[in-house]
Amino acid sequence: MTAEILNGREIAKDYRADLERQVNELKEKGVTPNLTVVIVGNDGASLSYVRSKNKAAENIGMESSIVRLDENATEEEVLNTVESLNQDKKVHGILVQVPLPKQVDENKVLDAITPEKDVDGFNPINIGKLYTGQETFVPCTPLGIMELLKHTGSLEGKEVAVIGRSHIVGQPVAKLLTDQNATVTLMHSRTKDMVSKIKDFDVVVSAVGKPGLLKGADLKDGAIVIDVGNTVVDGKLVGDVDYESALEKASYITPVPGGVGPLTITMVLNNTLLAAKRQNNL
Amino acid sequence: MTAEILNGREIAKDYRADLERQVNELKEKGVTPNLTVVIVGNDGASLSYVRSKNKAAENIGMESSIVRLDENATEEEVLNTVESLNQDKKVHGILVQVPLPKQVDENKVLDAITPEKDVDGFNPINIGKLYTGQETFVPCTPLGIMELLKHTGSLEGKEVAVIGRSHIVGQPVAKLLTDQNATVTLMHSRTKDMVSKIKDFDVVVSAVGKPGLLKGADLKDGAIVIDVGNTVVDGKLVGDVDYESALEKASYITPVPGGVGPLTITMVLNNTLLAAKRQNNL
C-alpha cells in the first residue's frame, strides 16, 4: 500500500478560500476582522513565524498588525500592551508569541488576554470551556489536525495513539478525538515500550519533536499518520516519522513540512474570524 | 490471587483525622473553614447526600450550612444566592447540588461560583488551570481515586483504562493519571470490543454506572480495580464490576459501597480547607 498524502497546503488553501468569502461578507456588514500579534525580542525564527501569520491574515482580507516590544521589556509593559489590546474594539484576535523572555511570566501574560480575543485558546477559561463542552476557542494545532482527519473518513470506533502530553497539542487533540467517538491512548516519554505498541493503532498523532521516532515497520497496515513533529535537522524541517518507510505502510500520511503547519495558521485565521463574529453578534 | 481490598472508609478516616488536625491549627489562627451547600428542591437522595457532606464537615470541626431553595426557584434566585455566598467572607467553599430543576441553567450556575470558592472544581477556569498545571481545585472524585491509588504503589509506566469520558470523573482522572506518568486509554460507550480489551491493562477505573460491565475473567491477572459505578439495584448500591469474581483476579479492588464514595466526600473537605487557607494567605 502506498499512502495517500494529506497535502496540508492544498487543504489549507481550500479552507482559507472559504474563510476569505466569510471575511468579505463580514466587511460588507462593516466589520473587518483584525488579528494583532505581540512579539517580545528579536528571535529570528519567532519573527518570521509571526510575519507569516500576519501575511496569511492579510491574504484573506483581514487586518493584521504586529506589536513589537524590546527583549528587555518588563512583565508590566507586556501586560499593559495586552490590556490595551483587550480594550481596543478594532482588535478581535490577540496572539502573544511564545516563548517570552525569562523576566516575563508566560502564564500570567496568556491569562491576561481576554477570553473573547484569545484566538490561540490558551487562556484557562477557554481550555475549561473546551473540556465542559461550552463555546470557546479551540487551540489551533489540534483544530488543524481534526480538519486534516476529516479527509480520512469517520473516526468513530477508531483506536488512536496520541504521542505527547502537552496542553498545546496532545491533551486537547485527545479531547477532540474522544468527542468524535475515537478511543484515545495518550502516550508520552514515560510510556513503556511505546514504539512496539504503535502497531495496535488505526491512527497515530505524533507531537514529540524527535526525528525517526517511528518507522514504517512500527505502523499497523493502513494506519493514518499525522506528524506534528517539526525539528530542524541539517537546515531541513523534519517530523517524528520516517516519511519514506511510512509512506509504504500507511493509508494516509502528512508530510513535514506542508502537513499540519499550514492548517495551524489557517485555524488562527478561523478563530479570528469567529472572534470578530462573536464580538459583533454576527 | 485474592485481591487486597481498598477500604475507602478506613483510608478516608485516616485522611480526615489529618484534615481535622489542620482545621484545628487554622482555628487557632482565627479562621474556621466553612462549607456551604446550596440545594434546590426536595429530592430525597440529593438531600441526604447534602446532609452527609454537611455532617462530615462538622465532624472535623468545620462550619457547614445548607441553603435550601424551593424547587420552583428561578435561575435569577439561584444566581443571587450564589453571588451572596461569593461575597460572604465567612464562607470558604460553595457547593451547588446537581441536578438543578430544568428552569435553571446548570452551567450558568456552576460558572457563577467564584473560582476561589469552587471546591467541586467544576468552574471552567479551575478546569483550565488543572490542564495547564496551575493552582486550582481538582474535582473531588478524581482526587479521591488518586488517593486510593497511592495505596497501591507507583503509577509510573502503568497502563490504565479509564472507562467513561465525563468531565466530572473520566477526563480529569485521565489527566491526573497521565501526570503520574501512567499511560491512559480513555474508553467509552463507543469503544469497540471494550470488555475484551480490558485484559491488557494494569489498572482499570470504571465510571459508567452499568452493573456487571466487567467480570473477574475480563481482568488482567493482578489488575488494580477502581470501581466508581454506583447504581441502585434492588435497593442495594452496586458498582460496574462483579465484585466476587474480580476479587479472585485483581491485586487491589474497591468495594461498592465503601470504596470511592467516602474519598469523594473527604476531598470536598480537603478542598474546603485549602480554600480557607488560600483566602486567608495561610
Phi/psi for B75 (5° steps) reads -55, -40
- Mutation target among B165, B177, B181, B186 for the A interface, most CBs of A within 10 A: B186
Q: Pseudo-torsion of CA A124, A126, A131, A134, nearest 10°?
A: 150
CB B154 within 8 A of CB A156: no
pLDDT at residue number B237: 94
End residue of a domain, out of B114, B130, B150: B114
What residues form DSSP beta bridges with B63? B34
Question: Are B183 and A186 in contact (CB < 8 Å)?
Answer: yes
pLDDT higher than threshold 90 for residue A61: yes
C-alpha A242/C-alpha A218 separation (Å) is 10
* Domain match, B105 and B154 both: no
Residues 6 or more apart whose Cβ sits within 8 Å of residue B50 = B37, B39, B66, B95, B97
* Domain match, A149 and A235 both: yes
Question: Are B128 and A132 in contact (CB < 8 Å)?
Answer: no
CB pairs under 8 A between A and B: 97
Question: Are A157 and B190 in contact (CB < 8 Å)?
Answer: yes
Q: Which residues in chain B are contacts of A187 at CB distance < 8 A?
A: 183
Q: Is residue B194 part of a domain?
A: yes
pLDDT at residue number B207: 98
Q: Residue A201's domain is classified under what CATH number?
A: 3.40.50.720
* Domain match, A257 and A159 both: yes
Based on the structure, what is the number of domains in chain B?
2
Instruction: Please count the CA atoms within 13 angstroms of the CA of A122 that sit on its side-chain side.
Output: 22
Q: Is residue A9 part of a domain?
A: no
In A, minimum Cα distance to B180 occurs at A190
Closest CA to B117 of B266, B280, B264: B280
Q: Is residue A133 part of a domain?
A: no
C-alpha B90/C-alpha B104 separation (Å) is 26
Phi/psi for B55 (5° steps) reads -70, -40
End residue of a domain, out of B114, B130, B156: B114
Q: Is residue A174 part of a domain?
A: yes
* Domain match, B233 and B165 both: yes
Write down how long chain B is.
282
C-alpha A26/C-alpha B24 separation (Å) is 61
Number of Cβ within 10 Å of residue A77's Cβ equals: 14
Q: What is the identity of the amino acid at A156?
A: E
C-alpha B90/C-alpha B239 separation (Å) is 38
Joined together, the cell numbers standing for residue A14 give 481550500
Residue A45: pLDDT band with limits 50, 70, 90:
confident
Tell me the per-residue pLDDT of A138-194, one tens digit each, with 9 for 90 and over: 999 999 999 999 999 999 999 999 999 999 999 999 999 999 999 999 999 999 999
Long-range contacts of A72-78 (CB under 8 A, 24+ apart): A72/A101, A72/A103, A73/A40, A73/A101, A73/A104, A74/A103, A74/A104, A75/A103, A75/A104, A75/A105, A75/A108, A75/A109, A78/A38, A78/A40, A78/A104, A78/A109
Joined together, the cell numbers standing for residue A122 give 490558551
pLDDT higher than threshold 90 for residue A223: yes
Task: Kindly write down the DSSP assignment for every residue of A66-89, as one continuous string.
Answer: EEEE-TT--HHHHHHHHHHHHH-T
C-alpha B108/C-alpha B98 separation (Å) is 12
* Domain match, B145 and B68 both: no
Q: Which residues in chain A are contacts of B137 at CB distance < 8 A?
A: none
Q: Which residues in chain A are contacts of B183 at CB distance < 8 A?
A: 185-188, 190-192
- Span A207-221, average pLDDT: 97
- Mean pLDDT of all residues belonging to chain A: 97
Q: How far is CA B79 from CA B48, B96, B98, B113, in A?
A: 23, 11, 14, 9
Q: Which residues in chain A are contacts of B124 at CB distance < 8 A?
A: 124-125, 127-129, 131-132, 134
* Domain match, A110 and A150 both: no
Q: Is residue B23 part of a domain?
A: no
Please confirm whether the linkage preceding A115 is cis (ω < 30° from 0): no
* Domain match, A51 and A147 both: no
pLDDT at residue number B8: 98
Mind listing the pLDDT tens digit of every residue in chain B (282 residues)?
799 999 999 999 999 999 999 999 999 999 999 999 999 999 888 899 999 999 999 999 999 999 999 999 999 999 999 999 999 999 999 999 999 999 999 989 999 999 999 999 999 999 999 999 999 999 999 999 999 999 999 999 999 999 999 999 999 999 999 999 999 999 999 999 999 999 999 999 999 999 999 999 999 999 999 999 999 999 999 999 999 999 999 999 999 999 999 999 999 999 999 999 999 999
* Domain match, B150 and B48 both: no
In this complex, the residue of B129, B178, B192 whose CB is nearest that of residue A124 is B129
Residues 6 or more apart whose Cβ sits within 8 Å of residue A281 = none
* Domain match, A167 and A109 both: no
Q: Residue A67's domain is classified under what CATH number?
A: 3.40.50.10860
pLDDT at residue number B193: 96
Q: ipTM value of the model?
A: 0.95
Helix or strand holding residue A183 (H, E): strand A183-187
| Alpha-helical runs (H) found in chain A | 8-28, 44-59, 75-87, 106-112, 124-131, 140-150, 170-179, 194-197, 243-247, 260-279
Smallest Cα distance from B70 to chain A, Å: 27
Residue A52: pLDDT band with limits 50, 70, 90:
very high
In this complex, the residue of A131, A171, A185 whose CB is nearest that of residue B167 is A131
Annotated binding site of A for NADP(+): 164-166
Q: Is B175 a catalytic residue?
A: no
Q: For the packed helices A170-179 and B170-179, what is the interaxial angle rounded to 10 degrees?
A: 150
Q: Is residue A165 part of a domain?
A: yes
What is the end-to-end Cα distance of chain A in Å, rounded? Answer: 47
Q: Looking at B11-51, which runs of residues are DSSP E strands? A: 34-40
Q: Is residue A271 part of a domain?
A: no
* Domain match, A143 and A257 both: yes
* Domain match, A144 and A244 both: yes
Q: Is B279 a catalytic residue?
A: no
Closest CA to A207 of A184, A177, A227: A227
* Domain match, A144 and A257 both: yes
Q: Looking at B89-148, which runs of residues are DSSP E strands? A: 93-96
Q: Is A117 a catalytic residue?
A: no
Domain that holds residue A199: 139-261
pLDDT at residue number B253: 98
Tell me the per-residue pLDDT of A226-248, one tens digit each, with 9 for 90 and over: 999 999 999 999 999 999 999 99
Helix or strand holding residue A40 (H, E): strand A34-40
Tell me the per-residue pLDDT of A121-143, one tens digit each, with 9 for 90 and over: 999 999 999 999 999 999 999 99
- Residue of B118, B120, B202, B218 marked active site: B120
Residue A1: pLDDT band with limits 50, 70, 90:
confident
Q: Is residue A243 part of a domain?
A: yes
Kindly report which listed range (A43-47, A97-101, B82-86) carries the lowest average pLDDT score: A43-47
pLDDT at residue number B146: 98
pLDDT at residue number B121: 96
